[in-house]
Amino acid sequence: MKTDRSNTEKQFDAHASRRGFLKNASIATLGMILGAEIVFGNKLPKGLLPIAITGDQNPVIPGKHSELITLNDRPLNVETPAHLLDPDITPTDVFFIRNNGLPPEITDASSWMLEIAGESVIKKTSLSLRELKSKFKHYSYQLTLECAGNGRNEFDPPAKGNQWKVGAVGCPLWTGVRLKDVLNHVGIKGDAVYIGYYGKDTHLSGDPGMSPISRGVPISKAMEDESLIAWAINGEDLPAMHGYPLRLVFGGWPASTCGKWLSKIVVRNVVHDGAKMGDYSYRVPKRPVAPGEMVAYDDMKIIESMPVKSLVTNPKTGAMIKKGTILNIRGKAWAGDNSVKRIQVSIDFGSTWQNCNLKDPVNRLAWQPWSTRIEFPKKGYYEVWAKATDDEGRSQPMVVPGWNPKGYLNNACHRIAVKVI
């Protein structure tokens, strides 16, 4: 069980370290974080920080909904409250942001090049963005991207890293070309086992020789129909923070595989060994471990398809309902490479479950909208819990599952609070 104390301490630590960095930042830097000049910034009393970036009030991030929750501002990490994920296609202005380094500043993408290299490529090739768009057929898919650390805030002992609650997930419409069409065009050798990506963002240390993240997927995932090199989200160019002008998109796998500001793909004859492919990064123990246990790196494996999970997106937690009203409840469910077969809700803390209506995905690897109607027996406080089951019969656990060193793969049931008055 998690104690209140550890939770409070965690929040305090995160708050203190953020403030520590910001305290030393110039007004110009603070303005850059905000994406707007701080007018009268020179009059801000010493020691006071703009409330829009301390977390005391939501930040104003250009192009983003004001209700998003900022977990870190260097690098920028921002999550979505569950109720904003209610539309079937996630709008760009609510889609979460996860950066490991500092995004590049790209104003002109007309000369953007994508290099395809690595031991298992037949001929090292460079393609311009224009060639990519003109040489290959375009495809659009709705694909679910979820950060592997989504839900990390519930692990005890706490796992270091962004304390994501439920909202590091979304399912926008992506447009681009199939990675397999590009790889087949370039030609890959029979010994290819993995692809890796490199992007144009820079390491937090400022060291130009260090990559903030360079991950990838096995060749089998790379060659799937829905694996895209994308330039558009919801019919528009990718915004700067989501990888303009080009990124990878692999639905159902840790979103860390979806390289942003994509400039190079390597086809490897070994498992890609770029930044954040080893140690505890995006890896979980091969066997169940005790909470807090020191796990040897050799006992860790790379996370592949994400586990079954769901969200209640309507009503918003904290909803007040008049006695006698039937509540129309809605949400989304997804299951990595699998599909969701069943979704149920409980209003009695998991004692009994009611089946919901569940739609098919619009395409493979898109999340599935669900809905039902709930009647509450009397006035009082309730929680609605949602539980999805995938097509192989695996269900979400009611409480946080297997502890792991970095706090990945928490697919515990989502809970919302409802008061019947």
Ligand X SMILES: Nc1nc2c(c(=O)[nH]1)N[C@H]1C(S)=C(S)[C@@H](COP(=O)(O)O)O[C@H]1N2
Could you tell me which stretch among 29-37, 116-124, 255-263, 404-412 binds ligand X (CB under 6 A)?
A: 255-263
Please name which of 272, 302, 126, 270 lies closest in space to residue 189, comparing C-alpha atoms. Answer: 270
Among ligand X, Mo ion, none, the one that 420 touches (CB under a kind-dependent 5 to 8 A) is: none
Map residues 181-210 to x or -, x wherever contact with ligand X holds by CB under 6 A. Answer: ------------------x-x---------
Site for ligand X in 136-165 (CB under 6 A): 147
Can you tell me the distance from the alpha carbon of 156 to that of 11, in angstroms, rounded to the nearest whole number? 14
Cα dihedral angle (88, 91, 94, 96), rounded to 10 degrees?
80
Strands in 125-203 per DSSP E? 125-128, 138-142, 145-146, 169-170, 173-178, 194-199
Answer with the entry of ligand X, Mo ion, none that 261 interacts with (C-beta below 5 to 8 A by kind): ligand X
Q: Which does 367 bind (CB under 5 to 8 A by kind): ligand X, Mo ion, none?
A: none
| Least distance (Å) between residue 2 CB and Mo ion | 23
Q: Based on CB atoms, which residue is closest to ligand X, 248 or 358?
A: 248
Q: Least distance to ligand X from the beta carbon of 10, Å?
A: 20
- Which residue type does 191 have? D
Tell me the closest approach of the beta carbon of residue 172 to ligand X, in angstroms. Answer: 9
Tokens of 225: 């129909």
By CB under 5 A, residue 283 contacts Mo ion: no
Q: Does 98 bind ligand X (CB under 6 A)?
A: yes
Q: What is the rounded distance in angstroms from the CA atom of residue 407 to the CA atom of residue 157? A: 9
CA pair distance 368, 307, nearest whole angstrom: 14
d(CA 221, CA 365) in angstroms, rounded, equals 12
Q: How far apart are CA 140 and CA 325, in angstroms?
A: 40
Residue 165 partner contact from ligand X, Mo ion, none using kind-dependent CB cut-offs of 5 to 8 Å? none
98 binds Mo ion (CB under 5 A): yes
Residue 99 interacting with ligand X (CB under 6 A):
yes
Residues that bind ligand X (CB under 6 A): 95-101, 147, 199, 201, 212-213, 242, 255-256, 258-261
